[in-house]
């Protein structure tokens, strides 16, 4: 199915952030893509085009502090970026042909963290989280760049209950379908974080868990990128087909995706 890209501006607070709307000839579900810290919408455009070809409307965008607003990199907070995510969601949900009851949110790392919180503020049917990050609630208004990395690393190595964290609390309340993708050799989002997220999704309709063997946090090997794209598109196709047939996934799936073990430095 042919797709069409349209550059758009998203109004948030007193600024505008850039987005790219990827649409097919006919669409029902909507997919919102949230990149990670130090990333950009470019990381998801190719994947958005593949999912749009399934018959979906897809929206990628740049969080403030990134791309053309990178001058705010040192000062942007999680509150600012959550507002970006909400604004982008509202633009997607308002597009002609998008079913507000069939919206998926796809996020990587910091974007995955923001995606879970969004699900507590807007209707979300599907959540796809790649190496979702975790942060303490109490420093919410501290600029993201100024968070204590050592303190954060310690926090991520421990058990965190859903009642103790805003993102995990949102996961505990989420009743839709979930995909969690982990990197085997992730030194930014270690395995205990993934365990905390998996435990929190106690009400999820389905939970699909995948590990990309040998991969680092930033998927710096092209083979790891391809593996993630394949996992995401396959899962999205299953969800979209299930929605069209009036059903959907209803089980917990666990799988390790075998990949080359060559490692490159991780990217935050």
Question: pLDDT of 202-246, one tens digit each?
Answer: 999 999 999 999 999 999 999 999 999 999 999 999 999 888 776
pTM of the model as a whole: 0.84
What is the pLDDT confidence band of residue 59, given thresholds at 50, 70 and 90?
A: very high
157, 174, 179: which is closest to 255 by C-alpha? Answer: 179
CA dist., res. 115 & res. 105, Å (int): 6
Q: Rounded mean pLDDT of the chain?
A: 90
Q: What are the tokens at 48?
A: 């958005």
Determine the pLDDT at residue 25: 52
When mean pLDDT is compared across 3-17, 161-175, 216-230, 250-264, the lowest value belongs to: 250-264
Place 24 in a pLDDT band, splitting at 50, 70 and 90: low
Residue 220 to residue 266: CA distance in whole angstroms: 7
Query: Among candidates 105, 117, 112, which has minimal Cα distance to 51?
Result: 105
Q: Can you tell me the mean pLDDT for 31-45? A: 90
Q: Does 3.40.50.1820 match the CATH number of domain 3-257?
A: yes
Asked if residues 196 and 168 have their Cβ atoms less than 8 Å apart, the reply is yes
């Amino acid at each position: 199915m042919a797709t069409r890209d349209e550059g758009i501006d998203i109004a948030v607070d007193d600024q505008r952030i850039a987005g790219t709307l990827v649409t097919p000839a006919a669409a029902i579900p909507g997919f919102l893509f949230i990149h990670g810290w130090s990333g950009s919408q470019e990381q998801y455009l190719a994947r958005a085009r593949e999912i749009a070809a399934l018959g979906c409307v897809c929206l990628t965008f740049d969080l403030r502090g990134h791309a053309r607003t990178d001058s705010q990199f040192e000062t942007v907070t999680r509150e600012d970026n959550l507002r970006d995510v909400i604004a982008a969601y509202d633009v997607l949900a308002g597009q002609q042909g998008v079913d507000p009851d069939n919206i998926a949110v796809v996020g990587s790392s910091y974007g995955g963290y923001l995606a879970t919180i969004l699900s507590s503020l807007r209707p979300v049917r599907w959540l796809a989280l790649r190496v979702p990050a975790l942060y303490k609630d109490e420093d919410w208004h501290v600029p993201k760049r100024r968070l204590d990395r050592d303190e954060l690393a310690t926090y991520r190595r421990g058990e965190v209950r859903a009642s103790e964290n805003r993102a995990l609390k949102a996961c505990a309340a989420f009743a839709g379908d979930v995909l969690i993708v982990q990197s085997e050799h992730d030194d930014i989002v270690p395995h205990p974080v993934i365990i905390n997220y998996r435990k929190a999704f106690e009400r999820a309709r389905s939970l699909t868990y995948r590990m990309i063997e040998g991969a680092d946090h930033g998927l710096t090997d092209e083979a790891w990128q391809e593996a993630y794209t394949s996992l995401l598109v396959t899962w999205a196709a299953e969800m979209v087909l299930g929605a069209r047939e009036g059903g959907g996934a209803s089980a917990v799936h666990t799988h390790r995706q075998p990949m080359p073990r060559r490692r490159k430095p991780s990217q935050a």
